[in-house]
Every structure is written in structure tokens, then in C-alpha cells.
Structure 1
Amino acid sequence: MISKNLALNIGASAALIMAFNTAAWAEASDQLWPVVKEAFFTNRNIEEVDFIKITGPKRAESGAQVPVTISIDKPQSDANAIKSLYVIVDANPIPLAATYHLNEALGKFELSTRIRMETDSYIHVVGEAADGKLYMSKVAIRAAGGCGGTVDNDEATVRATAGKIKLQVENPIKVGQETPTTFIIKHPMRTGLQRDLVSQGYVPAFYIQKAAFTFNNKPVMNVDFGVGTSEDPYLRFSFVPDASGVLQVKAEDNEGTAFSNQVTLTN
């Protein structure tokens, strides 16, 4: 679990991060990590390991849509499996992009998603095991401008389409085998750092806050999204069904609006 003093620590670390970001890095720097680490995991040891991996492009085409893939080379059925994954973009104004809470139904975990990056940065993925120990992997990616900028969308249209979910699963399934699954939810994922194109005032944060995946009412994966997740959140992962049944996702935005979708799977 992340430090209970997170809110206080983030305030202090954000100021330091902004100070670091005034410098023009030739490439991503790891100098921010000690500050960010203490903000999220105060006085806790984190071991860098090979069994957790995060990969991404050396240079992203768009800072607003940076593809990354995270994998764990251990089955989720392991007694000391990774239970939570924290995706942290060191140099972002709000570093925590998302938290993934994992369950046994995921099998051998691999997930592809897209994140926002304001500038060149290391991305750290920190895994918390069942015994509370922390492990991590990191990757350096060059990117720019993914968290700020301007917004010129028609507000009525944005809100009319927000929350539409596409849940795609290879069907029929094979019981006991990994089943590829794709989740996309239509949403602007406004960061609170973007400005209105006309008024130049800041546009309030408006984003998907969480999503819960279940199969036959049993938990598969819960996700806590942050504003560091890209517009129209995208997840591709696999789970291991133990029978035919219903895969369901329930999502909620930061204004409390709920969305859901489900798909019936047969073998």
C-alpha cells in the first residue's frame, strides 16, 4: 500500500519535480526517482528485478499517447504473487499514472496500455507482493507535451459519448487457457492542466477513475486510473477462465458517473 502521507508528500515532491523540469534534459534523467520514491513509498526498500518488465518506445510519437507494456514473469497463482502494480512517470506533474490490483485469474500477467508524458522521463513500475515487499523495473522514454496543451472539444458532444465501452474477447474460449481481452472506454481523460482554447482558463479534471473486471462475479483485475492515463483508456491483457460465463467491467469517473459492459463467453 502506498504511504498514508501521500497527499502531503506529493505536494512537496511536485514542487521539486517542477524545478527539475525547468532544466532542458538531453534525455530522460533518473535524478527525480529518489524524490518520487520517497513521496509514494516512504522509507521502504524497492528491489530492481528482472521478473517485472516495462517496455516502450525510445521516443514516443505523441506525448499524449505513449504505448507501454508491463509483464510479470511469475504466475498470479504463486503464493507470493504481485498483488498491486504502480505505474509512475517520474517527470509528470502528477506522477502516478495508474494502479493495477491483480488477481489469480490473470495467469501470467502481461498488459499493454497508453500513458501521458509531459517530458522525457523514466517510467517506473513498482510491484507489491503478497508479503508486502516491493520490486521494480524501469524504462526511459522521450516524449513531450502530453499533460497540458489546449482543449477545444464541444463539451456537449464530449459528455454525450464519454463512457462508451468496447470489450473485445476472443470467443469461443478455451477453459484453463489465457484468453486475450481488449478494453477501450471513450473518455477525454482531462488532466486539469489543460487550458480552454478560447478563455485560456484551466479546464477541470475529468477522467475515468476506476474500473473493475470480473468473470462470473469473481474479481479479475481492478484499476485505479490517474490523469496520466491517455485519452480513451486502452488495456489489453489476458485472463484464464475456469468455465463458460460472463466477463463484466464496471467503470466510474471522478464525478461519480458509472459505466458498464459485459460479454458472454462460451467454450
Structure 2
Amino acid sequence: APRRAESGAQVPVTYSVDNATAKGVKITKLYAFVDANPIPLTATYHLTDALGSFQMATRIRFETDAFVRLVGEDASGNLYLASREIRAAGGCGGTVEGDEAAIRASAGKIKFKVEEPVKIGSAASTTFNIKHPMRTGLQRELVSQGFVPAFYINKAAFTYNSKPVLTIDVGVGTAEDPYFKFNFVPTEAGKLEVTATDNEGKTFAQAVEVKS
């Protein structure tokens, strides 16, 4: 992550569990916080062995200068902390404008790919991007200055041949048009699928065929 971000609304970060793995610790769940945000928890990541050596690139919001804190949890409930300070501001509140009907009509459009060539048994790079305004409930409409209702993706579940790969509980601290890039290890040819839901109960899904 950068020490100073150009925009508090779109701060790129990359998470990994390399330090824990090197110490023989197996992380099964990751919590990502920005401690000065109105809602600090940006996302929770539920990990599986299918991810191999876990690394996640994503984009999050900062309301003001703060630490991003990654808390890892192992199967026994032990917790491990990593932190980094980032200077950024204005990502959670402020005003929003635009044609709300058009914004809602385009919400849920997915870009989903696995980089080729794929080698079965080796890490394959996967990118998921879903168009969505990720309204925090703290933003105001530009003209009326009334609060815009919260409207956000709250979960993305990835499976391979119907077996869990990664589940993300997404919070409003995740940036507009949620983006997640990670590796997974296919053990055979098959289908990588994602199902995303929002806080209004809408569901969005897409699949990618994976073969060597």
C-alpha cells in the first residue's frame, strides 16, 4: 500500500500471509480494518487450501489518515496483527451525484477472468471486478444534502467445481466498483464461479472455464 494515497476513495492495498506461513501458522480468516473509518471493518476473508500462498490485491476507502490493520485468525482462534499507516482522506462521506436510476441499472456488471496459460497444480491469477457504487449510507446527495441510503455489495463467494475457494464478507469500506485479485490453485480442469450479493438481496453471478 502507498504511504500517501492520491484519493481516499480508492486506496490500493495488497494483503498476504507470508509472515505467518513462514512461522508455521495457518491463517483461515482475515479481517481488514481501517481504524479511523466510521465503519472500520472493510472486509473479512474466509480462506481455503485452494488459494495456495494467499495474496489479495484490492482497493479500500479512508475517511482520514489512519492505519490499515490486517488481523489473521487461525483454526484455534489465535489472532495475529499487521499494520501500515496511510495518509488519505474523504473516502467514506462527502457528497455524491449522478443519475441514480442509471447507476442502479448498471450495478452488478462483472468482469471476471483467470489469466492464461493455466498450469494445473500451479497458482493461477484471478481478477474479479464488479460495477457497484458501494454507497456507505454516510454520503449526502449533492443538491438536497440528504443522506443517500446504503447500497453495497456485501458478499462474494468463489467456488471451483462447486468446492469453496474464497468467501469475502464485503463492507462499505471497500471502494466503489469492488476489485479483488488473488491466486488459486486448480487441481484439475473445471469451472471457477463467483456469486455476489448486495444488501438489498440482489444476486450477481459469473463463471470462467479453466483448462490447461
TM-score range, shorter chain: over 0.9
Q: Is 1:95 the equivalent of 2:40?
A: yes
Higher strand proportion: 2
* Partner Cα distance (1:211, 1:75) in 2: 25
Relative to structure 1, the CA distance from residue 90 to residue 75 in structure 2 (aligned partners, 3 Å threshold; closer, same or farther) is closer
Relative to structure 1, the CA distance from residue 219 to residue 232 in structure 2 (aligned partners, 3 Å threshold; closer, same or farther) is same
Q: Is 1:160 the equivalent of 2:113?
A: no
Q: Is 1:63 the equivalent of 2:8?
A: yes
Gaps of 5+ in 1: 1-55
Q: Is 1:246 the equivalent of 2:175?
A: no
Q: Amino acid of the residue matched to residue 187 of structure 1?
A: H
Match of 1:264 in 2: 209
Relative to structure 1, the CA distance from residue 171 to residue 70 in structure 2 (aligned partners, 3 Å threshold; closer, same or farther) is same
Residue 153 of structure 1, CA deviation:
1.6
* Partner Cα distance (1:262, 1:206) in 2: 24
RMSD: 1.5
Q: Higher relative CO (CA 8 A, sep ≥ 6), structure 1 or 2?
A: 2
* Equivalent in 79, 82, 99 of residue 134 of structure 1: 79
Gaps of 5+ in 2: none
Alignment of 1:70-219 (within 5 A): 70-73=15-18, 81-219=26-164
Which structure has the bigger radius of gyration?
1
Contact 2:4 / 2:86 at 8 angstroms: preserved in 1? yes
Using the size of structure 1 for normalisation, the TM-score is 0.77
* Partner Cα distance (2:102, 2:81) in 1: 40
* Partner Cα distance (1:107, 1:136) in 2: 21
Residue 172 of structure 1, CA deviation:
3.6
* Partner Cα distance (2:162, 2:117) in 1: 19
Q: Deviations over 1:136-165 (max 9, x none)?
A: 100000001000111112011111110011
3-state SS in 2 of match to 1:221: strand
3-state SS in 1 of match to 2:17: strand
Using the size of structure 2 for normalisation, the TM-score is 0.96
Match of 2:181 in 1: 236
